[in-house]
Amino acid sequence: MLAALGLAATGCASNEFTRLGVPEPITEQGQRVLALWQGSWVAAFAVGILVWGLIIWSIIFHRKRSEQLPPQVRYNMPIEALYTVLPIVVIAVLFYFTARDQTYLLETDEKADTNVEVVGFQWSWEFKYLDQSKAEALEEAEAAAEAEGKEADEVDPEEAQPETLFSEVGTPDQMPTLVLREGDVVHFDLHSPDVIHSFWVPAFAFKMDVIPGHDNEFQVKVNEGTAGTYMGRCAELCGVDHTRMLFKVEVMEPEAYDAWYAEQEAAAEAEAAAAAEQEAADEQASEEAAEAAGSEQQDGGQQGRDEEEDAQGASSEEEQQDGSDSAGQAEGSQNEEAGH
C-alpha cells in the first residue's frame, strides 16, 4: 500500500484507491493538491509503520520471561534526542511542502485566457465573464492616473472595474452553469454582497471563501481531455437555503466553447441594443409627456386669463350701468323738485 501511494504521489498511477477519496482533478493546480494529499498519507503511513513496528518489536523481544527484574535505567539520551528531533523533522518537511504548494495555488501572475467574476449571494451564484481581471483593470486605471500626474492611490477601486461581456444568474430553483474551455487559464474574482460564502468545485480539489468587502482571487489551468459536466457548491454555512447554493461546471472542447462564447456575446449585444432602444423610447415618451403637460398648463393659463378679462369686462359694464341708473334717478328727483 505504501509503495502504491508512493507511485501515485510521483504521478505514475492514479485511481480511486490511490486518490484516497479525492475526485479526479481536472486542473493543474488540482493535481498539485492531490500530490500533497498523497504525500501526506505516505508520511503518515511511514510514521505509523515505524511506531507500530517498535511497539510490536518491544512486545515480542522484551516481554516478561522470568521473575527477575530487568536492568533499570534513568534515561537514554540518544533515544530521547530521537524522540525530540524526529517529530520536528517530520513537521518541518510537511510544513515546507504545504507552504510551497499553497504559494503555487495562489499565484495569479500568468495571463488568463478567461476572466470570470463569481458573485455569491443568498442563495445562488452569478458568473460574469469579464474582458480582464479586476487587478488588471485597477493597474490600467493607476497607470492612466500616473500619466495624468496624479497619485496611483487616488484611484477608487470601485470605479476601476472591468467590462462585463455577459453573465449568467442562477436561483435556488435553477442552477447556473459555469462554462470553461479545455486548456484555458481561468482567473476567478470572488465577490459577495451579503454574507460569507465559499466557492468550491470538488473537481478543482480547491475552494476559497467569498467574503463581503474583501474580494479574493485565484486562477486555474484546465487540463486537456477533461470535457464534461461537474458539480460545484457553497462550502460555508450561509443561511437557511445554504444547501441549495449549487451550480454546474461544464468544460467544453475549444471549438464548442468558441461557438458558445460567440453566441453569448451576440445575445448580450442584442439585449443591450434592445435595452438602449427601450431607454430611448422611455426618454422620448417622458419628453412628450412633459411637453404635453407644459402645453396644457399654458392653454389653461391663457384660458384663465381670458376668463379673468371677461369677468373684469362684465364688472366694468355693471358699474357703468349702475352709474347710469344712479344719474337717471338723480335727474328725475331734480325735475320733481322743480315741478313743485
Q: What is the pLDDT of residues 73-97, one digit of tens each?
A: 788 888 889 889 989 999 999 999 9
pLDDT tens digits for range 107-142: 999 999 999 999 999 999 999 999 999 999 999 888
Size of the chain, expressed as the number of residues it contains: 340
pTM, two decimals, is: 0.75
Q: Amino acid letter at 94?
A: L
Continuous H helices in the chain: 2-9, 16-19, 28-61, 77-105, 134-147, 254-339
pLDDT mean over 52-72: 86
> Would the pLDDT of 70 be above 90?
no
Q: Which residues contact 157 (CB under 8 A, 6 or more apart)?
A: 134, 138
Give the C-alpha distances (Å, rounded to integers) separating 169 from 13, 60, 89, 105, 245. Answer: 39, 66, 49, 27, 12
Give the C-alpha distances (Å, rounded to integers) separating 240 from 120, 122, 172, 254, 286. Answer: 15, 9, 11, 39, 43
> Would the pLDDT of 221 be above 90?
yes
Q: Measure the CA–CA gap between 166 and 265, rounded to whole angstroms.
A: 6
pLDDT band at 340 (very low <50, low <70, confident <90, very high): very low
> Would the pLDDT of 4 be above 70?
no
Q: Which residues contact 135 (CB under 8 A, 6 or more apart)?
A: 108, 217
pLDDT of 16: 82
pLDDT tens digits for range 38-50: 999 999 999 999 9
Give the C-alpha distances (Å, rounded to integers) separating 311 from 36, 103, 186, 302, 303. Answer: 98, 90, 81, 14, 12
pLDDT band at 210 (very low <50, low <70, confident <90, very high): very high
Q: Amino acid letter at 28?
A: E
CATH 2.60.40.420 domain span(s) along the chain? 114-252
pLDDT mean over 183-188: 96
pLDDT band at 311 (very low <50, low <70, confident <90, very high): low
Q: Measure the CA–CA gap between 308 and 51, rounded to whole angstroms.
A: 111
Element (H, E) at 126: strand 124-130
Strand order in the sheet with 216-221: 164-169, 124-130, 114-121, 185-191, 216-221
Was domain 114-252 assigned CATH 3.40.47.10?
A: no
Q: Measure the CA–CA gap between 4 and 322, rounded to whole angstroms.
A: 125
Q: Which residues contact 19 (CB under 8 A, 6 or more apart)?
A: 8, 34, 37, 38
Q: Which of 78, 1, 16, 30 is nearest to 222 (CA)?
A: 30
Q: Measure the CA–CA gap between 204 and 31, rounded to whole angstroms.
A: 9
> For strand 216-221 and strand 228-234, is the pairing parallel, antiparallel, or unpaired?
unpaired
Q: In this structure, what is the dihedral angle of CA atoms 180, 254, 35, 93, given to the nearest 10 degrees?
A: -80
pLDDT mean over 304-330: 56
